[in-house]
Amino acid sequence: MDDKKIFYDRQQIATRVRELGQEISKDYQGRPLVLIGVLKGAFIFLADLAREIDLDLQIDFIRVASYGDATTTSGTIRLTKPPEIDLAGKDILLVEDIVDTGTTLAWLHQYFAEHKASSVKICALINKFERREEEVEVDYVGFQVNNGFLIGYGLDYAEQYRNLPAIYAVGDVHE
């Protein structure tokens, strides 16, 4: 990926994650909160976000497959790792790296509702609108992006580049 350029640097990300943590802490004060990270992309964001939330909370992960090695969704969603925590009666904050088509998050929202979660909200590092197919409400948004392809800070291309410390644009990206 020779044509990548920094789109959000480490400091911008850290500042925004801190702000999200403060907002979530305020909104869930006095309530039991479960952060559910969507693997693999959200693991870095979830780790940083969890340290910025000033509440007792539980953390679990879920894994769904929809992209494979492509830059576009396959349209088929498979649950490959269910959460291990009993979700019934819990306030769930689903933590995702990027909301693109919305298909995966719409599916996950329904999954958590069927498992009788008390509430389900979504926190996404990137809310991207270019290919949105399903209407999903993203309750906590790190950054809004209209279009383009991003890598780094958990975001990948063919399972590479997740370890980059910033978020990089590949080609043209617009906020």
Q: How far apart are CA 106 and CA 111, in angstroms?
A: 9
Q: Is 55:71 a contact under the CB 8 Å cutoff?
A: no
Active site residue 56: no
Q: Which two tokens stand for residue 165?
A: 């410390």
* Burial of 104: CB neighbours in 10 Å, binned 0-12, 13-18, 19+: buried
β-bridge partners, 147: 174
Set 48, 97, 100, 156: catalytic member: 100
Active-site amino acid positions: 100
